[in-house]
Structure 1
């Protein structure tokens, strides 16, 4: 029996709260009481009969029933700000439709669509009988035999994580991507890819924990399995990530890892991708010409560390169309009609005000040479530190040349990490290799040093032991079905003897170059950590010995 609640509409009988599992299309009045477990992003769509918008959220009730609710157009305006993940609601009226299983992974044959007569009332007193979420955890070893596009819940230890990268969609927009290796009690690991906002939220937390030397527990709710690169798991719109959760399963995984998992040989079910698709590879400028980058059918994506040695400032931006095309502006060049309006040929419309977008021509220089590159809107704002419209008005409306030149000087002669797209294009009858700045970040010397150390460690390990498959923070050497020794991470640096010329890998163990023992490296060797305080930083000759260096300084820019 379920308790009656207050009426959902005037002059109606008091409805009875029913479980989600009891909903069917033939019911009249009903009310469900459930907690919102996830909420999707607001999306826009374009169809032949018109444009629209939608969002969805998932519900869980006290009996374990789950259902997805979708709102369109006017209902988006009415309920989007009302729905908050974690809150409990009384929901009445709506249309039950067959669930679209290609988009809806919940174990329910129906999904609910809210309409004009639907009501959503928040319960301000939390109901402890309704769980916060419902997990159906599977072992990573099970994922290997599951079909592609299946939805799975996983929980395990994050062994390593890669820096955030950018992927170009077919629509021309870019999306953030971040990958990590997850291992569980089955002694298997899988690559988990985070997309979009997951990279900035949970992804940054995981990155900080891994850089500090920790191996955090991660629970993945509703990850999608793919076979693009062996077996992988990726986030989707309804996915949820829990870092160091307070679950019984999380405590079990942590205890197992500390007891035996840390030193257990691990088998990866994901392969290293070596195809010709997009990969951000670190290069120097002269390699663009020496390796004929950009001359193949697909563009090359590289990362270079360089300084802006020259910048053309005569035409640093262009007038663009601000008309929204779906969820993004048109951005095509517009022409001045002479009457204060601007015309876009693509949209075939006139607008009262135009937008201003960067098109910077930059000369990039590193220790090997120089090259020209073009930076458009997003990359231009990262470099200039302000919108193109503000810089345009400063130069041409306010005519403050001194301030304008000061901004240019601050942007130039600064070292950045540039992610470049290299592609050969045709200008007239001439073929030219064009470099486009996809992303520009001011150089973080501490983080860059760690990346360089990882690359050095990779080369040294491959030279000493070509079959080594140790994990590193930004590159995975594991292969399908290949046994991998998972070493201890030392303060976010590669697990090797960083300061000795001989890392001496032996049976998956790394030996200290100072005392010959395993389980630690030179930087935190107990024989040096126990020396008197007067020898921690600088010797009597004023030389940095590195002996007894405190834990927090290892791997820093010092």
Structure 2
């Protein structure tokens, strides 16, 4: 069934979709220890939905799912309201993975792109309000070094700033967080060092007003 037809009245559902974003397996302790993980999937009709798992279901998603591959996901119930504050695209629903949910990898489907974008220019992105999700494409003008920033929890996160510009003739600062600061950030730095101007695509960046307007690229964002 198309993703757009999924809602909380669906007892039995099945969808064929590509994994467009695979999050990290995150461990937490809030009274009892646990873990959580989510994946975003999209179908041939350009609809997207998030599948989130907890505990053993999160570990299953982590071990069985490969970003970019196409799967048939099937299950009974589990459809619940999405959380707009954490979902970087328009979707009213998300799926809570269960141990009975079926995951079957299938052949690639060229009708489904690797990423769906609702692109916003850098100029328009700079006018958006804080916490708004945005998709942008642009060239990297410069990138800084990785720094360590403290979190309210007492933990520390890596962060790295770069500057992005596009054909709107405007630029905006972008902050890469955690593993993206080192992994994708190092790739960008290497290209700049070779005299190239890397073009990056960000899906689900979050607008921030901290120290001026910028775009935060977090674990829930896709950076290509």
TM-score, L = length of structure 1: 0.39
Over 3 Å off, 4+ runs:
none
User: What is aligned with 1:104?
Assistant: 87
Are 2:88 and 2:221, in contact at CA under 8 Å, matched by a contact in 1? no
Cα distance in 2 for residues equivalent to 1:41 and 1:174: 17
Do residues 136 (structure 1) and 118 (structure 2) align?
Answer: yes
Q: Which runs of 5+ in 2 are unaligned?
A: none
Matches within 5 A, 1:97-246: 97-123=80-106, 125-242=107-224
Structure possessing the higher radius of gyration over alpha carbons: 1
Give CA-to-partner distance per residue, 1:427-473, whole Å, 9 cap, x none.
xxxxxxxxxxxxxxxxxxxxxxxxxxxxxxxxxxxxxxxxxxxxxxx
Are 1:143 and 1:231, in contact at CA under 8 Å, matched by a contact in 2? no
User: What is aligned with 1:21?
Assistant: 4
Give CA-to-partner distance per residue, 1:293-351, whole Å, 9 cap, x none.
xxxxxxxxxxxxxxxxxxxxxxxxxxxxxxxxxxxxxxxxxxxxxxxxxxxxxxxxxxx
TM-score, L = length of structure 2: 0.95
1:130 to 1:77, Cα distance in 2 relative to 1, 3 A: same
Q: Residue 105 of structure 1: CA displacement?
A: 2.2
Are 1:36 and 1:60, in contact at CA under 8 Å, matched by a contact in 2? yes
Give SS of 1:156's match: strand
Cα distance in 1 for residues equivalent to 2:216 and 2:88: 14
Q: Larger RCO: Structure 1 or Structure 2 (Cα < 8 Å, ≥ 6 residues apart)?
A: 2
Are 2:164 and 2:174, in contact at CA under 8 Å, matched by a contact in 1? yes
User: What is aligned with 1:352?
Assistant: none
Q: Residue 144 of structure 1: CA displacement?
A: 2.3
Name the structure where strand makes up a greater proportion of residues. Answer: 2
User: What is aligned with 1:95?
Assistant: 78
Are 1:153 and 1:223, in contact at CA under 8 Å, matched by a contact in 2? yes
Cα distance in 2 for residues equivalent to 1:166 and 1:77: 28
Q: Residue 44 of structure 1: CA displacement?
A: 1.9
Q: 2:28 aligns with which of 16, 33, 45?
A: 45
Are 1:96 and 1:110, in contact at CA under 8 Å, matched by a contact in 2? yes
Q: Residue 126 of structure 1: CA displacement?
A: 0.8
Kindly report the root-mean-square deviation, in angstroms, between the aligned alpha carbons of the 2 structures.
1.3
Cα distance in 1 for residues equivalent to 2:199 and 2:154: 35
Give SS of 2:84's match: coil
**How many residue pairs are counted as aligned between the two chains?**
223
Give CA-to-partner distance per residue, 1:352-399, whole Å, 9 cap, x none.
xxxxxxxxxxxxxxxxxxxxxxxxxxxxxxxxxxxxxxxxxxxxxxxx
Q: Residue 28 of structure 1: CA displacement?
A: 2.5
Are 1:135 and 1:221, in contact at CA under 8 Å, matched by a contact in 2? yes
Q: Residue 157 of structure 1: CA displacement?
A: 1.2
Name the structure where helix makes up a greater proportion of residues. Answer: 1
Cα distance in 2 for residues equivalent to 1:168 and 1:84: 31
Q: Residue 147 of structure 1: CA displacement?
A: 1.1
Matches within 5 A, 1:377-392: none
**Greater Cα offset, 170-179 or 56-65:** 170-179
